[in-house]
A and B are shown apart, each in its own frame.
Chain A
Amino acid sequence: QKEVEQNSGPLSVPEGAIASLNCTYSDRVSQSFFWYRQYSGKSPELIMSIYSNGDKEDGRFTAQLNKASQYVSLLIRDSQPSDSATYLCAVIDNYGQNFVFGPGTRLSVLP
């Protein structure tokens, strides 16, 4: 049974701070990892994908992957109130066709 775990939050950070979101997964063969942002009442939106160990940066977002520790994180620099949303971590492995989503972490950026 593949599992993806996240702290449900809410995680509150002041505007301009760095928000750090964490995710752990149970399936060691997982190869592909994704972060989604979901605003209330809307569908999830893909914001980052990462496939190899290390960091991947895209604008204010940095995804970090450590396969040995089965850990993936998302850093949001210079957090803005518009970043307030639920962030979902997802994994997919090379043995299957499916995405397994974590329960999401609710982020609140305070002005």
Chain B
Amino acid sequence: SQTIHQWPATLVQPVGSPLSLECTVEGTSNPNLYWYRQAAGRGLQLLFYSVGIGQISSEVPQNLSASRPQDRQFILSSKKLLLSDSGFYLCAWRKGGAFFGQGTRLTVV
């Protein structure tokens, strides 16, 4: 069966610090992968999606970037975090519907 792992679960980072969130999928090959962000009390905002290694599409201009160095690995990064980057970050893969990891709650202070 397929599983998706996302870590860390919680992160507190100072403004201006870098960020790296990692997501891996097991039990499937060449999945479509997604990064979403959910601000408190808000809906899901698509940040990036990838259909294959090295293929990244950005939906929202911001100070975040994504990379897909391996087939089942998707990384979300930032060089300098802003207060507005706080939120619940979710990685997902697609099989019919989207299936989500546990999420990372990021607080930028």
Contacts and interface: CB of A to CB of B under 8 A. Distances in A.
- Chain A interface: which size bin? 20 to 34
Nearest to B103: A43
A34 B102 contact: no
Interface stretch (A11-19, A65-73, A76-84, A99-107): A99-107
A46 B103 contact: no
A43 B101 contact: yes
Interface string B72-109: 00000000000000000010101011111111010000
**SS class, residues of chain B in contact with chain A:** strand
A98 B35 CA distance: 11
17 contacts: A32-B96, A34-B97, A42-B102, A42-B103, A43-B100, A43-B101, A43-B102, A44-B90, A45-B100, A46-B98, A46-B99, A90-B97, A97-B57, A98-B34, A101-B36, A101-B44, A102-B43
